[in-house]
Structure 1
Amino acid sequence: MEPWSRVIPTVHCDAEGGVSLTASALKNVRKALDVPERELKRWRRIFDANAKVVDGEKYLDPESFVNAIAPSGDLTKIGRAQFGILFRVADTSRRGLVSWDDFTVFETLLKRPDADYWIAFQYFDVDHDGYITYDEFKSVFTANVGPDALPFDFDCDWVKLYLGKKNGTHVLGYNEFTQLMKGLQEERVRQAFKYLDADQDGFIRPEEFKRIILEIAGHKLSQAVIERLPTLCTLSPGQKISYSEVIAFHNVIRQTDMVERIIREATAKSKDGRIDQSDFLNHSASSSRYSLFTPMEASIIFHFAGRGDGNRRLALIDFAQLLDPRWKAPHEEQEPQAALPKASFLQGFMHSTYNFVLGGMAGAFGATIVYPIDLVKTRMQNQRSTVVGQLLYKNSMDCARKIFRNEGFLGFYRGLGPQLIGVAPEKAIKLTVNDLIRGRATDPETGRIKLHWELIAGGMAGGCQVVFTNPLEIVKIRLQVQGEAAKVEGAVPKGAIHIIRQLGILGLYKGASACLLRDIPFSAIYFPAYWHLKKDLFNEGYNGKQLSFLETLAAAGVAGMPAAYLTTPADVVKTRLQVEARQGQTNYKGLRDAFVKIYKEEGFRALFKGGPARVLRSSPQFGFTLLGYETLKTYLPYPWDAKPPKVETALTSRPDEMSKIRARNALKILLDVHGDFGRRAASPGVQAVLSSPRLSSQRDK
């Protein structure tokens, strides 16, 4: 037995629509629904934050009650004032105030799994006998739609099919009521069309179609779609709208959530981020057991999304005006952006400076974490099998042990100073150039960039960084290998300044060709791999998903593995060219000479010396660098950044508490009766308390 079936008999409703529970009944309700103590404390915080003191006690008036229960940042067109209709449900004493006990009862009832339909049923069940009579249904309906609404025939066969008979009176139980409300809109559309089709030729005028939709679904459509509702007549000749088109449009609105899911999935899988009607129908058929949408419905979707041109391929952003009821054209946005610098050059310079600073900070963070691995990698790459005597290191682990034993813990950070000084401009320019080229080559509507532009952006970023990388690394490498030289030859270690003076300006760029050969393909592999891992593997951006720290770190780390290992030969050659050869070691004249001599003297495997250590160093270094870079951009955003347009709907927004969702859904069910449902009841001068004719006659007596 369901928990609610055990406690419903203890719920008492008064003749004016209030709900009351005895103390024991409320305890049973909480126990049946397993309301935890922390939930009660959260309700108490909400109540106290919004309550007002009346006669020494805290209460919620209609305004503060709405503040307490209305969803924050709701992406619908339901006005906050309309939530006031639920005040009638919570105000059990009918004194215009909701006490703490009343609020607890209301929140507890909202935890019911079918709270949305139950509240709607209670609203129609005026005398609260557990059934809705024909008179109750008619009186509540007419009281909320207003005298100017399209008429509804309550004696139609459709109503009679739902309302059975009990003791000679038409009644509707709760379960039957839920089904009636689900199909009510379609019957309203049918009756409204029949009423407006005066000559019964199967067509109505565009303005009549707009009137129908505004009454039953106006709160589900953006103003842009509402203004273009009459243009539906252009889909067929005659400048009129058929019943089939009205029903098709209504089906699209009823299935908006499914429409959005199909569009998001189809555009995500599309190569260019755009889809046409065929793509939409194909994806609809492949993602469901049966076809969800007809060709007419697809043409209607693309007609309104394409602003009358339903034949072109559309991006996700084009569908925003149909999917988001609060959508506004870009020039109509009310929230002004921070004042932008007027000169485009100044804009670009400031944004590049911002990226440069953040990139330098992130690069220093990543380099410090993995520097010991980089030291081991350099020592291994510089070790030559042709040197007279025994090899210093058997493998990377042996190298790490001997560094720690012979040079201490600080030996792992030999040369870190120049690394940190140079890593800022090195990583900064790489990240800045990559972001700059990607930004220029990205389609602003789809957010897509072609693969060849991804490769160009990464390659250019890698090439530009060599200006800083080569001097940095030649000094760093010579400092790193001094430790082993000091142990073998008894040499006195020299500082970075001595090395720079010894090399000179031109000497600082020794091995630059090998550095270019390493960094250009590395970045060309790394950046596209990183972005595709985020998007294709971790689904970043899909339905508004934002990656966690671990997901970002994993994407950045995995992308660095193939990029690091495949470019190891160029890194080996660069290291050999930049390290000062000791007595007995081979001298290299240049890039080609180094490749040939290493291959002849040490074999092909020598070109991949230090490859595992390079992977272990580069992969986490770029992982932490990119993680730091994106984290800094999140917490220190660029103040004048023009954010790309996004389609934000209920599917992508952060979910509210379930109680607020059910309160909102209860209003949606009532709004299916009429778009002004709740507004009339909440308006000044309109009697909010509804009563059945039977109760009214008893009061008159």
Structure 2
Amino acid sequence: MSELLSPPPHTPSLRLSQTQKDLIGGSIGGIAQVLVGQPFDIIKVRIQTAPTGTYASPLDCATKLLKNDGPMGFYKGTLTPLLGIGACVSIQFGALEWSKRTFGAPDKDCVFLGELYASGAIAGVANTIVATPVEHIRIRLQTQSTFAGPLDCARQLYASAGIAGIMKGQVSTMWRDGLGYGSYFLVYEWLVQNHVEKHGVDRKDIAPIWSVTYGAAAGYGLWATIYPVDVIKSKLQTDSLDPTKRQYSGMIDCATKVWRAHGWRGFTGGLMPTLIRSPFANGATFVAFELAMRAMN
């Protein structure tokens, strides 16, 4: 336990630019996020996209998944996010740190809250160029059995509708990540800045256990902001690629139909596994990022 409560020893700086360090640290954080959060994510997506009544609860979904696919069923479709989410989080942290440096000034001790939110929103939107195809392929693999793997899924999506087929859900992903990551990084960075000010320490001296705690809080800030948008995105990305068979014509049409059919409860499907997953996955993301950055500085 003492290893968790003490920062790692200082290591000599690597010959990398700050942007390269940000991208590498983000990649490591993204890989940690996927490995910790994937079992919860597949349960969330299946509940979000299954017909009403398919699962009585998240536990029922997990039980059926275990029975039908075995323990590895919880990591179905993991290869795509393991590669893609690593890239996504790399872009997020790279864009975030660049934005913070852009908003900051030599005479400022910290970045203001509005600037932190804007930095997070920029990071969120920037990452959608990778997040949209990665999540679309992952969701198809998690909910459908017609694909041999990620490459086969991508090939079939492209054959059906070209680039638009692979990038399906781009607009909803931009709304989700722009709004959500603004809150996500705002919460984390505010807590870190408050810790630095309150305890009179440098950022590099914050113990990893606090990075986990603040990352967990940031995860709840993220989902509290955008969960209904995530539900809409999942439904759009599992909708038919054939225009004549689609259930939804877009975000507004999807939201309207979900509301008419299920009311506000229609926007909360899969919320429980998401809330359970969030502190573990996001805590792992931030502590992995912070430790990686310390190792490179």
Normalising by structure 1, report the TM-score.
0.38
CA distance in 2, matches of 1:428, 1:594: 31
Aligned-residue offset at 1:563? 1.4
**How is 1:189-208 mapped onto 2 (pairs within 5 angstroms)?**
none
| 499 and 510 in structure 1: CA distance in 2 versus 1, 3 angstrom threshold | same
Identity across the alignment (%)? 25
Q: Residue in 2 aligned with 1:374?
A: 41
Aligned-residue offset at 1:610? 1.4
Normalising by structure 2, report the TM-score.
0.86
Confirm whether residue 535 of structure 1 aligns to residue 193 of structure 2: yes
CA distance in 2, matches of 1:591, 1:467: 19
Q: Residue in 2 aligned with 1:597?
A: 257
Amino acid at match of 1:575: S
Q: Residue in 2 aligned with 1:413?
A: 75
CA distance in 2, matches of 1:369, 1:495: 21
Q: Residue in 2 aligned with 1:627?
A: 287
Q: Residue in 1 aligned with 2:231?
A: 572
Confirm whether residue 471 of structure 1 aligns to residue 133 of structure 2: yes
Q: Describe the SS at the equivalent of 2:248.
A: coil
| 542 and 445 in structure 1: CA distance in 2 versus 1, 3 angstrom threshold | farther
Q: Residue in 2 aligned with 1:238?
A: none
Q: Residue in 2 aligned with 1:279?
A: none
Amino acid at match of 1:523: Y
Q: Describe the SS at the equivalent of 1:459.
A: helix
Amino acid at match of 1:500: A
| 399 and 540 in structure 1: CA distance in 2 versus 1, 3 angstrom threshold | farther
CA distance in 2, matches of 1:616, 1:442: 35
Q: Residue in 2 aligned with 1:606?
A: 266
Aligned-residue offset at 1:510? 0.7
Q: Describe the SS at the equivalent of 2:200.
A: helix
Q: Residue in 2 aligned with 1:499?
A: 153
Amino acid at match of 2:23: F
Q: Residue in 2 aligned with 1:561?
A: 220
CA distance in 2, matches of 1:494, 1:540: 52
- Higher Cα radius of gyration: 1
Confirm whether residue 449 of structure 1 aligns to residue 111 of structure 2: yes
- 2:96–2:120 Cα contact (<8 Å) kept: yes
Q: Count matched residues.
A: 277
Aligned-residue offset at 1:400? 1.0
Aligned-residue offset at 1:622? 2.0
Confirm whether residue 435 of structure 1 aligns to residue 97 of structure 2: yes
CA distance in 2, matches of 1:609, 1:577: 14
Q: Residue in 2 aligned with 1:544?
A: 201
CA distance in 2, matches of 1:463, 1:619: 23
CA distance in 2, matches of 1:413, 1:464: 27
Aligned-residue offset at 1:493? 4.8
Q: Describe the SS at the equivalent of 1:510.
A: coil
Q: Describe the SS at the equivalent of 1:603.
A: helix
- 1:533–1:559 Cα contact (<8 Å) kept: no
CA distance in 1, matches of 2:197, 2:218: 15
Confirm whether residue 512 of structure 1 aligns to residue 170 of structure 2: yes
Aligned-residue offset at 1:540? 5.7
CA distance in 2, matches of 1:351, 1:551: 23
CA distance in 2, matches of 1:556, 1:423: 17
Aligned-residue offset at 1:367? 1.1
- 1:364–1:420 Cα contact (<8 Å) kept: yes
Amino acid at match of 1:525: S
Aligned-residue offset at 1:586? 6.7
Structure with greater helix percent: 2
CA distance in 2, matches of 1:578, 1:511: 6
CA distance in 1, matches of 2:292, 2:197: 18
CA distance in 2, matches of 1:558, 1:357: 23
- 2:187–2:221 Cα contact (<8 Å) kept: no
CA distance in 2, matches of 1:634, 1:361: 13
Amino acid at match of 1:361: I
CA distance in 1, matches of 2:183, 2:155: 35
Query: Which residues of structure 2 form unaligned runs of 5+?
Result: 1-12
**How is 1:323-334 mapped onto 2 (pairs within 5 angstroms)?**
none
| 459 and 409 in structure 1: CA distance in 2 versus 1, 3 angstrom threshold | same
- Computed over aligned residues only, the root mean square deviation of the Cα atoms, in angstroms, reads 2.3
Which structure has more RCO (C-alpha within 8 Å, separation ≥ 6)? Answer: 2
CA distance in 1, matches of 2:112, 2:43: 38
- 1:564–1:619 Cα contact (<8 Å) kept: no
Structure with greater strand percent: 1
Confirm whether residue 363 of structure 1 aligns to residue 39 of structure 2: no
Aligned-residue offset at 1:621? 1.7
CA distance in 1, matches of 2:147, 2:121: 36
- 1:565–1:615 Cα contact (<8 Å) kept: no
CA distance in 2, matches of 1:381, 1:394: 13
CA distance in 1, matches of 2:166, 2:147: 19
- 1:416–1:476 Cα contact (<8 Å) kept: yes
Q: Describe the SS at the equivalent of 1:567.
A: helix
